[in-house]
Amino acid sequence: MTHFPAPRRLGGLLFGGLLALLLIGVAAFGPLERYYQRQMAAQNQVPLNLAVESLRSALDRYAPLPALIAERPALGQLLSTPDDAVLQANVNEQLRQTATTVDASDVFLMDITGRTIAAATYRQPGSYLGRNFSYQSYFSQALGGGLSSFSIHGTTTGERGYFYAAPVEDGDRIVGVLAVKFNINAFESIWRGADSDFIVSDRNAFVFMSSRPDWHFRALRPLSEQTLRVIAQNRQYPIDRIDLLPITATDIGDDVQLIRIEGETSSEPFVMASVQLEETDWTMASLMPIAPARNQALQTLALFGLTALLLLAGFGIYRQTQARLAAEQRAKRELETAVAARTADLSTALGDLKRTQTDLIQAGKLNALGQMSASLSHEFNQPLAAVKSYADNAAAFLDRDRPEEARENITRISQMADRMATISKHLRNFARRPQQAVGPLLLNTVVQDALAVIAVRLKSSSAAFEYDTPKGNIWVIGGHVRLQQVIVNLLTNALDAAEESPFPRVTLTIDGTVLTVRDSGPGIGDDVKEKLFDPFFTTKSAGKGMGLGLSISYNIVTDFGGALTAENHEEGGAQFTLTLQPAQEQGIAAQ
Ligand code: ADP
């Protein structure tokens, strides 16, 4: 048999399971979150590359512009005659139109000293017109013969610009520099609305472009003294506004870092993926908020936890069901064993009972037989002894020649013989319950005949006898002689009992088919009641009763389908009730 844990042990098991789940969850969360962060970075690689490409293509698209514009003859003319106001106005206007066409924020012409002599923004306040940019690296590079160059600026207008510059040549001679300025905002607008933030930093880790304005002009790492000096020198960035963007970074993959940017009030965590733009020495980075990775990790854990819980619960329910089934099986087996044991007990008890019953019947039979033998031997011995003594007497009287006395004794012997014959007849009646026919009888007649049988006894008795003859004819089922025998018996017993009382009286009543015999005797004692109808039961002295009357009467009445009962009357004395079956009225009474 498989052993299943009890429900309490099961509870412990489940609790242990839950605890293990919790520990697994706590331990697994970190690696899982890392995994989703790397996934996120991988997914973000495509939009990052697209952004890099769009930046690169913009740079490439605008790069040849200054060289093309620089070839215009008017520029050379103005450079050679810078004081020609008409020409200057003409060039200014040309540059303005060009700027509008190529969507540049400015197009301007500088002479060999770096002074601006014409600009597209000539009409606007704060125009570069007249200002000297000789310190700018793009100027010096262009002057050096470079086809084009670019840089970032924010010092003059506070606006971040992207500059391309090309030399203006007159034959082999460089006579000036033409520069085109683009607004960086235009590049940044490409990234607007993206899920992640972007940063473009230069080789000094200086952030000059970002989807987040608060990160502009900030450094991702501390700038060295020398770098700061260079920046100050060519006024590339507003040195006074440069400050550090506090970042802590952890590598979590190739070109993927988990960074935390400390803000003024809180710190923001990001997953950062970066790409290098070799030609410009720039780095473009995308910064993804980590919340989705965290949520995904939590969801995965929750899903795992839920599945594990379900499995655990299922397992628990399974074990519990098994335990319950096993317990039920056990209980059933115990019940079956108990029932089998009880059944065995019962059948043993039944066997005992049967044996006892058999024993009792046997004992009862023996008892009855004993009573009968005693009674019979008494009944016969007494007249036999008398017969012997009368015979002896008769013989003696004959010897003495006294025939009269001898005859008298012989007559007595004859009487004794009659008595013994009567006893014998009783016994025969008892032994053989004659299956005589029963039929309708006129109860009135039967009672009359019975009274006639005991007429002598009634007359000689000290008891008063009362009998109200019934008004009409009462027809009952029975046999005439046997019913008469029953009535005689009841009346004789009543007379016997009544004669012992101070005011002896016997009353016979007929009410319908119910015949009652009441007497003024001592009534039926409790010990007698049970044995009243038993054969050979008698309280009378030897020779007066054999104890067969009521037993025979009872059987006769039962044969008739009637009933015979005995009880004590509430005013004293016994009362026997004989209830007979009513019969249809007949023409002649059955005999
Ligand atoms: P018997 O008259 O020969 O004794 P019965 O069978 O007629 O036999 O009666 C059995 C016994 O029932 C009697 O011995 C007597 O004790 C009791 N008995 C019968 N009739 C009466 C009665 N009317 N009052 C009191 N006892 C009675």
pLDDT digits (tens, 9 = 90+) for 205-229: 888 788 888 888 788 888 888 888 8
What percent of the chain shows pLDDT beyond 90? 30
Residue 469, domain CATH: 3.30.565.10
Please give the distance, rounded to the nearest whole angstrom, from the Cα atom of residue 497 to the centre of ligand 1.
Answer: 8
pLDDT in the model for residue 146: 66
Residue 2 lies in a domain: no
Instruction: Give the confidence band of 380 by pLDDT, cuts at 50, 70, 90.
Output: confident
pLDDT in the model for residue 512: 93
pTM of the model: 0.47
pLDDT in the model for residue 547: 83
pLDDT in the model for residue 570: 94
Identify the residues whose C-beta falls under 6 Å from ligand 1. Answer: 489, 493-494, 497, 519, 521, 524, 528, 532, 537-540, 545-551, 574
Radius of gyration of the chain (CA): 72
Report, as an integer, the average pLDDT of 549-574. Answer: 92
pLDDT in the model for residue 363: 61
Q: Which residue has the higher pLDDT, 127 or 118?
A: 118
Q: Say if residue 434 is in the same domain as residue 563.
A: yes
Q: Residue 419: which residues within 8 A CB-CB, separation 6 or more?
A: 383
Instruction: Give the confidence band of 344 by pLDDT, cuts at 50, 70, 90.
Output: confident
Q: Say if residue 313 is in the same domain as residue 450.
A: no
pLDDT in the model for residue 207: 84
Q: How many residues does the chain have?
A: 591
Q: What is the pLDDT of residues 407-449, one digit of tens each?
A: 999 998 888 888 788 777 766 665 555 567 889 999 999 999 9
Q: Which of 538, 554, 556, 577 is the pocket-test mutation for ligand 1 (most atoms within 8 Å of CB)?
A: 538
pLDDT in the model for residue 202: 82
Range(s) of the domain holding residue 440: 430-579
Instruction: Give the confidence band of 5 by pLDDT, cuts at 50, 70, 90.
Output: low
pLDDT in the model for residue 258: 86
Residue 86 lies in a domain: yes
**From atom 14 of ligand 1, which residue's Cα is the shortest distance away?**
538
Please give the distance, rounded to the nearest whole angstrom, from the Cα atom of residue 36 to the centre of ligand 1.
Answer: 114
Atom of ligand 1 nearest to the CA of 552: 6
Report, as an integer, the average pLDDT of 2-22. Answer: 70
Instruction: Give the confidence band of 364 by pLDDT, cuts at 50, 70, 90.
Output: low
Q: Which tokens in the block code for residue 112?
A: 């060999």
DSSP single-letter state for residue 132: B
**From atom 2 of ligand 1, which residue's Cα is the shortest distance away?**
545
pLDDT in the model for residue 575: 97
Q: Say if residue 456 is in the same domain as residue 526.
A: yes
pLDDT above 90: residue 18: no
The structural domain count of the chain equals: 5
Report, as an integer, the average pLDDT of 586-591. Answer: 54
Q: Say if residue 162 is in the same domain as residue 201.
A: no
Alpha helices by DSSP H, listed for 250-290, are none
Quickly count: other Cβ atoms within 10 Å of residue 548's Cβ: 21
Please give the distance, rounded to the nearest whole angstrom, from the Cα atom of residue 554 to the centre of ligand 1.
Answer: 13
Instruction: Give the confidence band of 372 by pLDDT, cuts at 50, 70, 90.
Output: low
Quickly count: other Cβ atoms within 10 Å of residue 356's Cβ: 11
Element (H, E) at 563: strand 563-568
Residue 206 lies in a domain: yes
Residue 256 lies in a domain: yes
Atom of ligand 1 nearest to the CA of 528: 16
Atom of ligand 1 nearest to the CA of 550: 6
**From atom 19 of ligand 1, which residue's Cα is the shortest distance away?**
493
Q: What is the pLDDT of residues 62-112, one digit of tens each?
A: 888 898 999 999 999 999 999 999 999 999 999 999 999 988 889 999 999
Please give the distance, rounded to the nearest whole angstrom, from the Cα atom of residue 523 to the centre of ligand 1.
Answer: 10
**From atom 13 of ligand 1, which residue's Cα is the shortest distance away?**
538
Q: Say if residue 446 is in the same domain as residue 546.
A: yes
Q: Say if residue 122 is in the same domain as residue 228.
A: no
pLDDT above 70: residue 336: yes
Highest mean pLDDT among 37-51, 321-335, 500-514: 500-514
Cα dihedral 336, 341, 343, 348 in deg (nearest 10)? 170
Q: Residue 77: which residues within 8 A CB-CB, separation 6 or more?
A: 84, 87
What percent of the chain shows pLDDT beyond 70? 88
Report, as an integer, the average pLDDT of 327-332. Answer: 91
pLDDT above 80: residue 12: no
Q: Say if residue 392 is in the same domain as residue 332.
A: no
Among the candidates 292, 317, 343, a domain finishes at: 292
Instruction: Give the confidence band of 589 by pLDDT, cuts at 50, 70, 90.
Output: very low
Atom of ligand 1 nearest to the CA of 517: 23
Q: Which of 378, 527, 550 is the pocket-test mutation for ligand 1 (most atoms within 8 Å of CB)?
A: 550
Residue 268's DSSP bridge partners are: 261
Please give the distance, rounded to the nearest whole angstrom, from the Cα atom of residue 24 to the centre of ligand 1.
Answer: 101
pLDDT in the model for residue 362: 61
Atom of ligand 1 nearest to the CA of 492: 2
pLDDT above 70: residue 3: no
Q: Say if residue 255 is in the same domain as residue 327.
A: no
- How much is the mean pLDDT over the chain? 84
pLDDT above 80: residue 377: no
Atom of ligand 1 nearest to the CA of 539: 14
Residue 220 lies in a domain: yes
Q: Say if residue 257 is in the same domain as residue 285.
A: yes
Residue 588 lies in a domain: no
pLDDT in the model for residue 484: 92
Residue 390 burial class via C-beta count within 10 angstroms: exposed 0-12, middle 13-18, buried 19 and up: buried
Whole-angstrom distance, CA of residue 225 vs CA of residue 235: 15
Please give the distance, rounded to the nearest whole angstrom, from the Cα atom of residue 574 to the centre of ligand 1.
Answer: 10
Residue 168's DSSP bridge partners are: 176
Please give the distance, rounded to the nearest whole angstrom, from the Cα atom of residue 421 to the centre of ligand 1.
Answer: 22
Residue 41 lies in a domain: no
The CB-side HSE value for 591 (13 A sphere, CA atoms) comes to 0
Residue 122, domain CATH: 3.30.450.20
pLDDT in the model for residue 590: 44
pLDDT above 60: residue 141: yes
Among the candidates 292, 320, 352, a domain finishes at: 292
**From atom 12 of ligand 1, which residue's Cα is the shortest distance away?**
532
Q: Say if residue 147 is in the same domain as residue 245.
A: no
pLDDT above 70: residue 366: no
Report, as an integer, the average pLDDT of 240-260. Answer: 81
Residue 540 lies in a domain: yes
Among the candidates 135, 152, 179, a domain finishes at: 179
Q: Which residue has the higher pLDDT, 430 or 189?
A: 189
**From atom 21 of ligand 1, which residue's Cα is the shortest distance away?**
493
Q: Say if residue 134 is in the same domain as residue 272.
A: no
Q: Say if residue 514 is in the same domain as residue 460.
A: yes
- Is 148:120 a contact under the CB 8 Å cutoff? no
pLDDT in the model for residue 588: 55
pLDDT above 90: residue 248: no
Report, as an integer, the average pLDDT of 551-580. Answer: 94
